Amino acid sequence: MPKLRFFTAGESHGQGLVGTLEGLPANTIISTDKINHQLWRRQQGYGRGGRMKIETDTAKILTGVRHGKSLGSPISLFIENRDWKNWEKIMAVEGDNPGKKLVEVPRPGHADLSGAIKYNQTDMRNILERASARETTTRVALGAIARQFLDALGIGIASHVLQIADVKSEKSLIRYGSPQWDIELQELNDRADKSPVRCIDTQIEGEMIALIEKAKQERDTCGGIFEVVAYNLPIGLGSHVHWDRRLDAQIAAAMMGIQAMKGVEIGDGFGGACRFGSQVHDEIYFDEASNHFFRKQNNAGGLEGGITNGMPLVVRVAMKPIATLMRPLDSVELISKKPVKAHVERSDVTAVPAAAVIGEAMLALVLADAVLDKFGGDSFEEIEQRYLEWGK
Ligand code: EPS
């Protein structure tokens, strides 16, 4: 069982979103401002739709924290949906659906059809409300708590957008340490946060924005690829001994659990599959002065045998284009089976920049669990002591 567990609840246009985090040690310093900063980061990005103008997401911690420190008990929090006031009747807990307005036409690429069949629903709002990526707000809030725990141990997490549709930057984190990568990892988020598309490659940034604008004009949507990195990690998180203890397996599951993700690579992933072993594997060296093993490249993305190897942990994630198109695709009415165009509902043109921030949160939750698994204790001080000792 994971040491750190979390649950989320909430519908996109319901009253709000609820999250619970269980297993965080006592005495971890927790700032609500830091949670809200991460929520703000998730709301950014060129290509977001009208909803982000309505919401200003902030978390209210309900339990598990006293005077700025965790108690070791479950932490729960609430995030209001400001849009709720426009949906009070449609999303009411009791009573009837006013006007009997149903979502009856599934969108290709969305959970609508499979969800409606599986859960025996005729109104696909009963599926889409929970399938919506609005839910990731809670994960970012809980991830922001995990992140404060990691940060106190010196572990950092950052992200950037590598690709939007077919516009691609060559500045991949895989090249960290080579002349093509010229940013300190500590500076990555500052740089990416300043870009409307989280792209650190200024020339490509403009092309990405132009492409999103084109998709918007054509009432289309686009996906892309983002990279998340964790740095200052110790050697030894995760394990080779069993499939579900491999850290790469846990990371892949966490990333694929984000709405609209279709692929995950660790390090050079699919790229490495096309080359010889001699070109892929990161040779091992030892530096006497600092008493450390080191590598000159990082195709493994910081993981070997499902265990962190001390290099930056690099995850790359592919997001499909948003399934709600303003120029809807062919579909079929759920009940009558009549061919019609898909349901259209306010949405985003792209959300890849926001997805990168969500990827950071998911990585924080997985890594905090891995740290607790390796160094576990009941208080932050107990863990910190073991952590520092191991680092020596
Ligand atoms: C989403 C549809 C849009 C997005 C939403 C995800 O919401 P709405 O239907 O209210 O316009 O903006 O994302 C968020 C609300 C969010 O907070 O990220 C969907 O269908 O997945």
> Percent of the chain beyond pLDDT 90?
93
| Nearest CA-CA partner of 197 in 246, 159, 161 | 161
The enclosing H or E element of 389 equals helix 380-391
- What is the overall mean pLDDT for the chain? 96
Atom number of ligand 1 nearest to Cα 13: 10
Q: Report pLDDT for 100.
A: 76
pLDDT, tens digit, for every residue of 130-154?
Answer: 999 999 999 999 999 999 999 999 9
Distance CA 19, CA 17 (A): 7
**Distances from the Cα of 3 to the Cα of 109, 180, 211, 372, 390, angstroms:** 34, 38, 43, 6, 19
3-class secondary structure for 113-140? Answer: HHHHHHHCCCCCHHHHHHHCHHHHHHHH
Atom number of ligand 1 nearest to Cα 259: 21
| Nearest CA-CA partner of 266 in 279, 255, 277 | 255
What domain range includes position 309? 5-391
pLDDT, tens digit, for every residue of 236-272?
Answer: 999 999 999 999 999 999 999 999 999 999 999 999 9
pLDDT band for position 89 (cuts 50, 70, 90):
very high
pLDDT above 80 (res 165): yes
For ligand 1, atom 21: residue with the closest CA: 132
Q: Looking at residue 363, which CATH number applies to its domain?
A: 3.60.150.10
Mean pLDDT of 305-325: 97
Domain count, the chain: 1
Say how many Å lie between the CA of residue 13 and the centre of ligand 1. 9
pLDDT above 80 (res 41): yes
pLDDT above 80 (res 99): no
pLDDT above 90 (res 96): no
pLDDT band for position 186 (cuts 50, 70, 90):
very high
For ligand 1, atom 18: residue with the closest CA: 134
Q: Report pLDDT for 344.
A: 87
Report residues whose beta carbon is within 6 angstroms of any ligand 1 atom. Answer: 12, 49, 51, 83, 132-134, 137, 324, 345-348
pTM: 0.97
Q: Report pLDDT for 178.
A: 83
pLDDT above 90 (res 354): yes
